[in-house]
Structure 1
Amino acid sequence: MSIFLVKKQDIDCVEPLIEDEDVLSLLEEYFGTQLSNKWKEVEAKWHQERGDLICDFPFLLGTIPLCSLKVYHKLQEKLNLEGIEFLPIKIENKLYYIMNPCLSIKGILNKKKSKIDYFSNGEIMWVSKYVFYPNEIGASMFKIPEMYTSIFVTTSFAEFIKENHFIGIDFEPCEIKKESILSRIFK
Structure 2
Amino acid sequence: MGAGSIYVPVGSQRHQWLQCVREEDFDALNSLDLQSRVSSSWRLRVRLIEHDECGDPLQGSGLLCLSSQVLVMTAAVWDAVRPVLEGQGVLARLQSDDGDFWMFVPDLCDALNEAGSSVARFSSGRVMYVSRYDFHPERLVDQTAFRIPQMPKGPLLCTQDVVDALSEESGVSFQRVWPTS
TM-score class normalised by the smaller sequence: 0.7 to 0.9
Task: Please give the per-residue CA displacement for 1:9-47, whole angstroms capped at 9, x wherever unaligned.
Answer: 444112212222222222221465222215237352325
Please say if residues 16 and 48 of structure 2, whose CA atoms lie closer than 8 Å, have aligned partners that are also in contact: no
Q: Quote the offset at 1:72 in angstroms.
A: 0.9
Mapped contact 1:46–1:91 kept (Cα < 8 A)? no
- In structure 1, the residue matched to 2:28 is 26
Instruction: Name the Cα RMSD after superposition.
Output: 2.5
Over 3 Å counting, the alpha-carbon distance change for 1:124 and 1:49 in structure 2 is: same
Distance (Å, rounded) in 2 between the aligned partners of 1:62 and 1:173:
14
Residues 105-163 of structure 1 deviation map (CA, whole Å, 9 limit, x = unaligned):
12x2111221111222322111111111212432321111112212111221122222x
Q: Which runs of 5 or more structure 2 residues have no equivalent in the other structure?
A: none
Relative to structure 1, the CA distance from residue 69 to residue 21 in structure 2 (aligned partners, 3 Å threshold; closer, same or farther) is: same
Secondary structure of the corresponding residue to residue 7 of structure 2: strand
| Superposed displacement of residue 74, structure 1 | 1.5
Structure having the higher Rg: 1
CA distance in 2, matches of 1:86, 1:13: 22
Taking a change above 3 Å as real, the CA distance of residues 32 and 114 of structure 1, as seen in their structure-2 partners, is: farther
- DSSP 3-state at the match of 2:63: coil
TM-score scaled by length of structure 1: 0.78
Which one scores higher on RCO, CA 8 angstroms, separation ≥ 6? Answer: 2
Q: Quick check: 2:88–2:145 contact (8 Å CA) kept in 1?
A: yes
The 4+ residue runs of structure 1 with deviation greater than 6 A are none
TM-score (norm 2): 0.80
Partner of 2:176: 173
Contact 1:32 1:143 in 2 (8 A): no
| Alignment match of 2:62 (pick from 56, 60, 74) | 56
CA distance in 2, matches of 1:138, 1:91: 33
Where in structure 1 are there 5+ consecutive unaligned residues? 178-187
- Percent identical residues: 16
Aligned to 1:141: 145
